[in-house]
Structure 1
C-alpha cells in the first residue's frame, strides 16, 4: 500500500512540475511576442508613410529621385541621380519646402531645428547635414544614406513634415564639413521638395 502511495505521489509531483514548466514556456513565448509588437509600434505604414522626392536642376529638368523611409535606425534616403558633374557634391536637407528655379535659394538654409553649427564642430552638425555624394565619371550616383537626426513622424522637433516643409539639395561642390554656415559647397545644382509648407 505504501509503495502505491509513494508511486502515486511521485506521479503527482512529476505532473505538477511538468505543468509549471509548460506555463513558464508559454510565458516566454508571450513575452517575446509582446516585445516584437513594441518594436513595431509607431512605424506602421498608415502612420509613417515613405516619401518619394523628384530632384530637378535649375532648368527644371528631372535629374533623379530620392526615396525616404522611416526605419528604426533613422530615416533612410535612397538616392538615384544622373546628369551631374563627376566628383563629390554637398547633399543637404534644407529648411523650407520650396524649390524655385534657377538657384533654389527659396529652400532657405540647412534644416537646423536645434540651432547648432554646421559640420564637424563641437556643437554640430545640423540635422540637415548629410554625407557628400560621390558622382561617377558617367555623371550618375546611386546610394543609400541613413540619418538619425531627422524623422518622418509629424509633431517632432526634428520632423521633416513641419509647417515650413523641407527640401533636398545637391550642391555643385563638396561640403568641407567645416566652413560656416554651409560647408562652402557652392551653388545649388538640384532641388526636390520633401514636404510643402502649410
Structure 2
C-alpha cells in the first residue's frame, strides 16, 4: 500500500461518531402545571437513541410512559400530544410487529415520588421522530402498559406531559 496514512485516516473517519448527534429535552408537568422533572433523548454514536427520565413528585406505583407524536401538552387531558410515535410498527414488545419507536418500559415510582430510568429506543431517531415539524411529547399514564393492547397498552389516562424542544 503506497499511502497507509491516507487509508488509516479514511478508515478512522468512517468509524468516528457524528460531530453533532441529535438530542432533545423537555420539562414535564402534571395536570395542575407542577414541574415534575425532565426527559432527555439523544441519538448515540451506535445509531440507537437513549432516553433519560428523571421525575419527582409523582404518585407511587407503576406507570406507562411513551413518546407521543405531537409536541403539544396544552389540552387539559394531554390529548393534544396525539398518539404514540408509531412509525409502521405495532404497540408493545409482546406483539410480533412491535414495539413502536416511542414505546418505553413502565416506570416504577417509589414511595418518595421519584421515578428514574434510562432506556434505549432502537427504532427511534431523534431528528426524524422528535425534532420533526410538529415535535413530540413525553407522556406518563395513570396505569401500567400491558405491552400488547393496541394502540397504547391499555395504560389509562394521561397524567403528565412534556413537549420537546431542541437541547442546546
- Give the TM interval when normalised to the shorter protein: 0.7 to 0.9
Question: Over residues 122-161 of structure 1, what are the superposed CA-to-partner deviations in whole Å (9 max), with x where a residue is unaligned?
Answer: 12221111111111121101221111111123xx4xx322
1:1-198 alignment runs, 5 A limit: 27=4, 31-40=7-16, 43-45=18-20, 48-73=21-46, 74-114=48-88, 116-119=89-92, 120-153=94-127, 156=128, 159-195=129-165
What is the rounded CA distance, in whole Å, between the counterparts of 1:33 and 1:174 in structure 2? 50
Higher relative contact order (CA 8 A, sep 6+): 2
| Paired residue secondary structure (1:165) | coil
User: What is the Cα deviation at residue 99 of structure 1?
Assistant: 0.4
Where structure 1 has 5 or more consecutive residues not aligned to the other structure, the ranges are: 1-22
Q: CA RMSD in A?
A: 2.1
Residues 95 and 34 of structure 1, relative CA distance in 2, 3 Å threshold: same
What is the rounded CA distance, in whole Å, between the counterparts of 2:44 and 2:111 in structure 1? 32
Structure 1 or 2, whichever has the larger Rg, is 1
User: What is the Cα deviation at residue 67 of structure 1?
Assistant: 1.4
Where structure 2 has 5 or more consecutive residues not aligned to the other structure, the ranges are: none
> Which is helix-richer, 1 or 2?
1
| Paired residue secondary structure (2:72) | coil
Residues 89 and 31 of structure 1, relative CA distance in 2, 3 Å threshold: farther
CA contact (8 A) 1:98 1:107 kept: yes
What is the rounded CA distance, in whole Å, between the counterparts of 1:32 and 1:173 in structure 2? 53
What TM-score do you get using the length of structure 1 for normalisation? 0.74
Question: Over residues 15-44 of structure 1, what are the superposed CA-to-partner deviations in whole Å (9 max), with x where a residue is unaligned?
Answer: xxxxxxxx78x82x6544433322335x22
Q: Report the number of matched residues.
A: 164
CA contact (8 A) 2:24 2:130 kept: no
Residues 60 and 121 of structure 1, relative CA distance in 2, 3 Å threshold: same
